[in-house]
Amino acid sequence: MTEPRFLADEMLGSLARWLRIMGYDAEYARDMRDDDILRQAVDEERMLLTRDRELASRAGDRGILLQGDDAIGHLEAVVRRFDLTFDEERTRCALCNRQLVPMSVEEAAPRVPPRVLERHREFLTCPSCGRVYWKGTHWTGICGHVGEAVRRARTNSGPR
Ligand SMILES: [Zn+2]
């Protein structure tokens, strides 16, 4: 089975970022008209994640309607629906959706705060925006959200 790719609508920015952290290709439709969102979903073979009932139904088989305001609940629903897994080796840039590449400590040194350099030895960078990532407190927070959603999806699995 090919891996699912996603397009999140404007109201689901956190969901798109978390899917990227998990290693999935997730685009984010900002300031786009419904017709353009639908076209991108079809052209790029993406599942459309939306909170808009009408948009979801217009997307047909590609439309995934997410209900409620709970961001972790949205991720949980997507994880369960597509049986997603969290692979830290495949993490993508939370901002631009590009897959991150390893970066040496020497390369990272001029670009991260000294206190970070003291505590971390593994760095990743985005080939597109150049942002440097490391597994610090922010990362731990994100993994907490993602882990919580995956756990809930596994626990509550069963007939939809
Ligand atoms: Zn980036």
Q: Kindly report the pTM of this predicted structure.
A: 0.90
Percentage of the chain beyond pLDDT 90 is 80
- CA 23 – ligand 1 centroid, Å: 13
Which residues span the domain enclosing 135? 1-160
Give residue-wise pLDDT tens across range 105-123.
999 999 999 999 999 999 9
pLDDT grade, residue 158 (50/70/90)?
Answer: low
Which residues are within 8 A (CB) of 136 and not within 5 positions of it... i.e. 6 or more apart? 116, 119, 120
Per-residue confidence (pLDDT) for residue 83, from 0 to 100: 94
Structure letter (DSSP) for residue 3 = P
How many domains, in total, are found in the chain? 1
Query: Taking residues 123-133, what's their average pLDDT?
Result: 95
User: 132-134 and 63-65 as β-strands: parallel, antiparallel, unpaired?
Assistant: unpaired
Query: Taking residues 83-93, what's their average pLDDT?
Result: 91
Indicate if the pLDDT at residue 151 is higher than 70. Answer: yes
Region of residue 151 (phi > 0: left; psi between -120 and 50: alpha; otherwise: beta): alpha
Indicate if the pLDDT at residue 148 is higher than 70. Answer: yes
Which residues are within 8 A (CB) of 40 and not within 5 positions of it... i.e. 6 or more apart? 7, 27, 29, 32, 46
- CA 150 – ligand 1 centroid, Å: 24
Residues by chain with Cβ below 5 Å of ion ligand 1: 93, 95-96, 126, 128-129
Give residue-wise pLDDT tens across range 16-71.
999 999 999 999 998 999 999 999 999 999 999 999 999 999 999 999 999 988 99
- CA 88 – ligand 1 centroid, Å: 16
- CA 93 – ligand 1 centroid, Å: 5
